[in-house]
Structures are given as structure tokens and as C-alpha cells.
Amino acid sequence: MKEASGNTMVKAVLGIDIGGTGIKGAPVNVATGELLAERVRLDTPQPATPAAVGATVRQLVTSFGWQGPVGCTFPAIVHNGVTLSAANVDKSWIEAPAERILAEAVGLPLKLLNDADAAGLAEVMFGAAKGRNGKVLMLTLGTGIGSALIVDGNLISNTEFGHLVFPKDTIAEKYCSAKVKDDLGLKYKQYAERLNGYLKHLQLLLSPDLVIIGGGISKKHEKFIPELVGLRFPVVPAALKNDAGIVGAAIEAAKLYGGVMVPYVAPLPPSQD
């Protein structure tokens, strides 16, 4: 970690974000959402089996010399600690006791949740939706479309709105994910038209008060968000960028396990990648 400033102590949890290509993490000040050390990123093993991913997560935890609660995200439906799908990881995760597997791998208390849910929680607590009531919908646009629905600060977990049938004979994430934009070579204006149609569909179903766009494409939000029209809600980019999953996972673990007291360090800015 960075050098401590004075004798101030803060409560921290190690947040870990498991993705299809990378596993990244850092200790988080759970009172402010700030990272307390430079993020560490390791490649997701291929194939991404439970044993292989568990070993990589253990390596990441060890790199920080961490001895405390861990919050961890996973790119799948996570229900009562069990993974019920397997997006971009090995199919052996389906119906696996993933929370227990990862907790045993690191030998520490661990809370597991869906990656988009974690990102949405972080944005509500510390990011673009801080202080907002009502229905907040976060969409992470990447290889697929992840979603998080938070109502008056309460998470409705595992919504999976990227799998809604839209426009017809397909699902939304095969129509307007960031990967679709890249695969089809769409200009941002063309992509915005697709995204706009999907958001109007969500407007009909949910009437959200705010939509937050995350994922790597949100770095270019000025190229497509201004093109969105006919919506009854504002659409804004995620504020925590690629750290949102790490922060949200740490927040949820802190609710269950508290945290460990560590020396205060000057906050790091959100990661830009």
C-alpha cells in the first residue's frame, strides 16, 4: 500500500472483480469507496474452472498480504452463493457453490455477488447515483449487457436485463452490447440508435428514474449518450469507471463481516481503463 498519512485508521475490505479475461482487486475504504492501494490485475485462467479461478483469486489476495474480509464479483447469476449461469467462464460453474469454493480457496470470509449488481451498488453509494432515490438502473455494456436495479437504495439482484428478448428473435446483448458495436463496425451514431431502442423498451417495462451506463464503452460516452432521444429519464456515464465492481463487492462484504482497520492513505482516482 501507499505510505500512510498520520495515524488515522480506516475500515477496509479487499474487493475483487472476476471477469472473463481478467481478475482485479484492491483494498477499499468502505466508508468512502476509495481504493487504498494500486489495483492488481491477473489474467483469468483458461479454461476458467473453479479450481483454476480459485487459485488465481488466492494469488491476488496473497499479493496484498490480506487477512480480512473479501468481497468478490462474478460474471453470472449468483443466488445464495451458488452460480446459476456461466458467462465467459467455464460451464462447470453452473450450479456450483461458488461462494464456498472461493472462500475455501482464500481461507477468509468472502461474499460473492453478480458483477453488475456490485457496480450498481457502488454507483449508488459513491458514484453517479449518490443521493438519488427512486429506481436506478445500471447497464454495463461490454461483451454482453449486465444490469443492476436499485430501488430506493435496495438492490433487486440478478435482473439480467441483457437477456430480454429485443428487438425480436434475439436478445438485447446480441443487439446492442459494446461487442456487437465492434463486431459490426458500427459508428457511434448507429450504435446509439440500437441502444436508444433498447432503452425505450426498458422505459416501457420499468420506468426508471435514472440510467447509468458502465463498461469500457462508457469512456466514450460523449459520442453516443447525447444521441439518445425520447427518454423520460437522464442517462449518465458511470463515475467509478472500472473500479465500480471492486468497490461494490467490498461494500457488500462489509455489511456481513465488517472490515479490518488499516492506516489511512491518500485516495487514488478511479482507474481509467
- What does the pLDDT look like over 157-171, one tens digit per residue? 999 999 999 999 999
Q: How far apart are CA 153 and CA 22, in angstroms?
A: 29
Predicted TM-score (pTM) of the model is 0.91
Q: Is the pLDDT of residue 97 over 70?
A: yes
Rounded mean pLDDT, 227-234: 98
Domain with CATH 3.30.420.40 in the chain: 9-115+242-263, 131-238
Three-class secondary structure assignment of 72-88:
EEECCCEECCEECCCCC
Percent of the chain with pLDDT over 70: 97
- Asked whether the predicted pLDDT for residue 27 surpasses 50, the reply is yes
pLDDT of amino acid 179: 93
Which amino acid would we find at residue 211? Answer: V
CATH topology for 131-238 is: Nucleotidyltransferase; domain 5 (3.30.420)
Q: What is the pLDDT of residue 272?
A: 66
Name the CATH architecture for the domain at 9-115+242-263: 2-Layer Sandwich (3.30)
| Average pLDDT score, the chain | 94
Q: What is the pLDDT of residue 6?
A: 52
pLDDT above 90 coverage of the chain, percent: 89
Q: Are 38 and 80 in contact (CB under 8 A)?
A: no
Element (H or E) spanning 124, and its range? helix 115-126
